[in-house]
Amino acid sequence: MSAVRRAVQSRCLSGLDGSSKTDIRSFSLKTEISFPMPETLTSAVVWCLVLAAAIESFTCLMRFALQLEATRDTCFLRVLTFGLRIHHCYLGLVIVAAGALLADGLVMNWLFIVGTACVLSDFIHHFVVLWLVTGEPEFDLFYP
């Protein structure tokens, strides 16, 4: 066991009163929200799939329940993006790159999971859901 891991364990396992124990596999923010750390590739993939399903559910709600279409309803952005359509997979790629370049450890893991979930959700939305429902993927790179 490395010296760093022993130091983290001793710090996490000793509570303020000496009796409480904190799981070293969790990450706590100052607001006391705890995010479990994915310990294996399988758990990271499961988290990614769950997040992708949640993002895709929200996307389908916006598209089918609220009748919003990105090409039609965000065409005013064409001037700001030089005509390029912004898909949420682009945001996911930026998140993955930020995690790879700027973060380490747990933050990097979660940025990679969230970014990959955004990319996966966009591909599922265009190449599965929209293809089945509308007959075409509607993956436009530029506004018409």
* Residue 2 pLDDT class (50, 70, 90 cuts): low
**pLDDT of the residue at 15:** 45
> What are the tens digits of pLDDT across the range 10-59?
544 444 444 445 444 554 444 445 566 677 888 889 999 999 999 999 98
Burial of 3-25, coded b for 16+ CB within 10 Å and e otherwise, reads eeeeeeeeeeeeeeeeeeeeeee
Ranking 43-52, 116-125, 133-142 by mean pLDDT, the lowest is 133-142
